[in-house]
Amino acid sequence: MNKNIKNAIVAVGVGYGAWWLYKKFKSGGFAKVPKNKTEAEITKEVNEAIAASNVPVDEFKVKVMKLQSLLNVAVDGIFGPMSTAALKNLYNGTLAYGAVSPSNVTKYIEDIELKKTPAQMQASTALVDKLSKDAATRVKQIVAANGVLVLAYSYSANELVLDKATGRWVATGIKKTFTKGQRLTGWTKQARQTTLLLGQTAGATSKYEFPANAILVV
């Protein structure tokens, strides 16, 4: 068979497959909760994916493979659009714990393994405020907590940058809007009496200031 014709047939097949998957998701054709698999079946799929991988496989990648197996999508350790769509399908169109990362992949796996219903999954991620109402106390609790920071309500935070000459954080006059429910996974925390300075990475030279009651910990 002519190579160009063969490639064209493959392309059409791939295109139809993508269209079919899209239609199935749009029509609700996939089950809300993935069918059950035995631990042996999951282990087999993960081991096959590890053997087929041409890049190093770390602990996080193995967990991603397990999550993909539970979701009945391609198991390759790369959590792409199809894996994300299947996961969102369990949480009524959202990523309940945020984008899949080393800090939350286990939570997603546990939700599925515990056979939680969509309603139970939503309830398990509800934003419950268990911290002090006193701002100064709350700031200390947030800084000491190990969970993920979540916005209690939408807020436009002031940006501050580090003045290396004085060692102080100075407002730039720029604001950034954060939305209710937004998760600040991995952000650093610094107490300022009754407010918090949050930085996206360790050693960040710009941070954002939040009132204590704008932040929850889950």
Dihedral sign for Cα 70, 75, 80, 81, please: negative
Burial of 164 (0-12, 13-18, 19+ CB in 10 A): exposed
Give me the pLDDT at residue 211, please. Answer: 94
Instruction: State residue 37's pLDDT score.
Output: 76
**The pLDDT value given to residue 125:** 54
First to last CA, the chain: 58
The number of angstroms, rounded, from the C-alpha of 181 to the middle of its chain's C-alpha atoms is 12
For 105, 156, 163, 179, the CA distances from 75, given in Å and listed in that order, are 15, 40, 47, 33
Query: Could you tell me the CA-to-CA distances from 68 to 9, 73, 177 in Å, in that order?
Result: 29, 5, 33
At 5 the pLDDT is 41
pLDDT along the chain (218 residues), means of 10: 42 39 38 64 86 84 91 91 89 79 86 68 58 88 87 92 91 92 88 92 91 89
Residue 160 contacts residue 206 (beta carbons within 8 Å): yes
CA proximity to 181, closest of 140, 148, 157, 135: 148
- Taken as a whole, the chain contains a residue count of 218
Rounded to whole angstroms, the Cα distance separating 16 from 13 reads 5
Beta strands in 87-205 (DSSP E): 149-151, 155-163, 168-178, 183-184, 188-192, 195-199
Distance in angstroms (rounded) separating the CA atoms of residues 53 and 50 = 5
Q: Provide CB contacts within 8 A for 185, sequence distance 6+.
A: 98, 99, 101, 103, 104, 148, 149
pLDDT attached to residue 217? 86
Rounded Cα distance, 146 and 44, in Å: 34
